């Protein structure tokens, strides 16, 4: 049985480039933060949420707030590596609205083609949800599909949803997938991995991201505490 096509929103033409006014080392750290936010956005692609009691609005102002906070995180990381540095811990609060706005405005040009309207939701107790409309055709045409392969019956651009637990400790993070759906139809973890691998692959990493692999947190981040509607970054 074929799944009906659904059209995703077209990406806007405006492109904004993240430029840190810092020395070369700071730029590298800022780029790592930016890539981490994007990777999390792709890994946690989850449930399409148009209403959470009231309609959510994502703005450039929220994107700018997120960018400023990421700059603060980078600055603190650099200060702790400076000779004879004596600094305590720092915490930075990021709301899910700020992070989603950052994905849609500040690094929109870095989101892979075929992914539209990424959204992140901090559920609380370490759990996160998010969503994105993705182009399934690009992934489906990579190889011959058997009759039992779910992608054999899914075409076009459709909403992908996933949710899970973000576990971070001592500078290392791991994502534990709990559920995933395409247009409300449950999909296996193997399909989530195939989609993630395709959309996260780069010239340096042609296999893309593995959903089960632990990852190093950048900028000397020790842990990320996910609460309801926000995440607290601890350095």
Q: What is the DSSP letter of 196?
A: H
What pLDDT, on the 0 to 100 scale, is given for residue 42? 53
Q: What is the mean pLDDT of residues 67-87?
A: 84
pLDDT, tens digit, 9 for 90 and up, residues 5-51: 544 444 444 444 434 444 555 555 655 665 565 555 555 544 333 33
Lowest mean pLDDT among 3-17, 71-85, 106-120, 217-231: 3-17
What pLDDT, on the 0 to 100 scale, is given for residue 56? 64
What pLDDT, on the 0 to 100 scale, is given for residue 15? 42
Share of residues in the chain with pLDDT > 70 (%): 73
Residue with the bigger pLDDT between 101 and 147: it is 101
Beta-bridge partners for 167: 174
Q: What is the DSSP letter of 143?
A: S
pTM reported for the whole predicted model: 0.74
Beta-bridge partners for 149: none
pLDDT, tens digit, 9 for 90 and up, residues 167-224: 999 999 999 999 999 999 999 999 999 999 999 999 999 999 999 999 999 999 999 9
Report how far residue 107's alpha carbon sits from residue 158's, in angstroms, rounded to the nearest whole number: 22
Return the percent helix, strand and coil in the chain, to nearest 5: 35, 30, 40
Q: 153-188 burial, b if ≥16 CB within 10 A, otherwise e?
A: ebbebbbbbbbbebebeeeebebebeebbbeeeebe
């Amino acid at each position: 049985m074929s799944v009906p096509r659904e059209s995703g929103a077209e990406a806007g033409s405006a492109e904004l480039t993240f430029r840190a006014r810092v020395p070369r080392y700071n730029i590298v750290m800022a780029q790592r933060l930016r890539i981490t936010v994007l990777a999390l956005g792709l890994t946690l692609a989850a449930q399409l949420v148009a209403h959470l009691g009231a309609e959510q609005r994502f703005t450039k102002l929220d994107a700018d707030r997120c960018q400023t906070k990421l700059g603060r995180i980078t600055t603190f990381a650099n200060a702790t590596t400076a000779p004879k540095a004596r600094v305590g811990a720092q915490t930075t609060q990021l709301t899910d609205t700020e992070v989603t706005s950052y994905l849609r405005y500040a690094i929109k040009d870095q989101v892979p083609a075929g992914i539209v309207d990424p959204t992140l939701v901090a559920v609380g107790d370490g759990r996160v949800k998010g969503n994105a409309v993705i182009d399934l055709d690009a992934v489906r045409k990579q190889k011959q599909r058997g009759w039992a392969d779910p992608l054999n019956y899914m075409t076009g651009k459709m909403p992908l949803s996933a949710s899970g637990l973000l576990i971070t400790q001592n500078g290392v993070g791991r994502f534990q997938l709990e559920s995933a759906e395409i247009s409300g139809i449950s999909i296996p973890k193997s399909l989530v991995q195939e989609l993630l691998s395709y959309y996260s692959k780069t010239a340096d990493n042609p296999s893309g991201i593995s959903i089960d692999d632990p990852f190093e947190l950048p900028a000397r981040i020790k842990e990320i505490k996910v609460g309801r509607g926000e995440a607290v970054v601890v350095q």
